[in-house]
Copies of this chain bind each other. A is one copy, B any other.
Amino acid sequence: MLKYMLLGALMERSLHGYQLKSTAFQKMFADFGINDGQLYPLLKKLEQADLIRKNVEHQEGAPSRHVYSITAAGRKDFRQWLESSEGEERSFRYDFFRKDTFFVRCNYIQYLDKETATAKIRQQMDTVAKTIADLQKARASMISRKVSPLRISILEYGIKSQETRAEWLNDFLKEVQKADFTPV
């Protein structure tokens, strides 16, 4: 998937590795972003596959920049991926069930005592609240920077889904407080 995210970023304009890291894969929160260990080897691989082309820009008194641009083959590959629906089936493999640590823990919440369980849920509520605040700030900034409404719309999904999570956490907390936690 990262392959297509890189190609997608290069569809607009040519970029060098560090630019990809710092602009196209900007940190949105704490540790979001792309890691070097994946970026540089993948760029090399894409270059070898002739999907992107490298142009080294020498700079005086600074490390050279390796500017990558997408090739015709790269554009074709990207469009093919974009048009396909591969990976869009409902599978749940990458969904709340398995990839969301908090939810996986929730499945076993009866093994905790009520106080610990409550504290855990409240902590998650805090995290979600902070995330929503951050996303709303990001949204405001995107609006003022006149980012395309489609991109803003995508961010709004993030906000909506976190709000849904917050609502559910409220319900779940009530459910936990009602439940009978017999020590196991």
Contacts and interface: CB of A to CB of B under 8 A. Distances in A.
Contacts of A96: 157-158, 161
A116 B108 CA distance: 43
Contacts of A127: 88-90
B8 A91 contact: no
Contacts of A31: 91, 93
A48 to B, nearest CB: 23
Contacts of A44: none
Nearest to A130: B90
B156 A160 contact: no
25 contacts: A1-B99, A4-B104, A28-B92, A29-B90, A29-B91, A30-B89, A31-B93, A32-B91, A85-B123, A88-B127, A89-B127, A90-B128, A92-B131, A94-B99, A99-B99, A106-B150, A106-B154, A148-B179, A150-B179, A153-B168, A153-B172, A160-B164, A160-B168, A161-B165, A164-B164
Given A8-B108, A86-B101, 6 more contacts: A32-B92, A90-B128, A106-B154, A149-B179, A160-B164, A164-B164
